[in-house]
């Protein structure tokens, strides 16, 4: 048989063309698959960019906002109402850390 890419003769037992590396029988079956889609940005505390507990950084990443804006908004809420601290603590407790997401527990069938 002949290589589908460069046309050089191949042995029937060869799985790849010795000249250009083309897989026998055409491109590899998975060649049309693109790279895997990026993981979704779930709401989680951003451990890499945290200042206190990563709540502001996690919100900013989730919403696509600048983390500075989120931090300023939190500080403004603290100064103006005193509710920012409570909101921060609630978010701290409620939001998962993003540095433990590597382990995915097996799904029950
Ligand atoms: Zn070839």
Cα 15 to ligand 1 centre (Å): 11
Domain boundaries, the chain: 1-29, 55-99
Please give all residues whose CB falls under 5 A of ion ligand 1, grouped by chain where several chains appear: 3, 5-6, 17, 19-20, 22
What's the CA-to-centroid distance between 106 and ligand 1, angstroms? 43
Kindly calculate the radius of gyration of the chain based on its CA atoms and give it in whole angstroms. Answer: 26
Q: How far is the CA of 4 from the centre of ligand 1 (A)?
A: 7
Q: How far is the CA of 9 from the centre of ligand 1 (A)?
A: 8
* pLDDT digits (tens), the chain, 109 positions: 888 888 888 888 888 888 888 887 655 555 555 666 666 666 777 766 677 777 777 777 777 888 788 778 877 877 777 677 777 788 888 888 877 555 566 666 5
Reduced to 3 states (helix: H, G, I; strand: E, B; else coil), residue 103 is coil
């Amino acid at each position: 048989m002949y290589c589908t890419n460069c046309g050089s003769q191949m042995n029937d037992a060869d799985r790849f063309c010795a000249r250009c590396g083309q897989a026998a029988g055409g491109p590899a079956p998975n060649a049309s698959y693109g790279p895997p889609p990026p993981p979704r940005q779930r709401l989680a505390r951003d451990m890499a960019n945290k200042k206190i507990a990563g709540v502001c950084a996690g919100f900013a990443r989730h919403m696509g906002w600048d983390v500075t804006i989120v931090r300023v908004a939190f500080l403004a809420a603290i100064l103006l109402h005193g509710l920012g601290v409570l909101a921060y603590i609630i978010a701290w407790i409620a939001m998962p850390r993003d540095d433990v997401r590597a382990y995915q527990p097996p799904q029950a069938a």
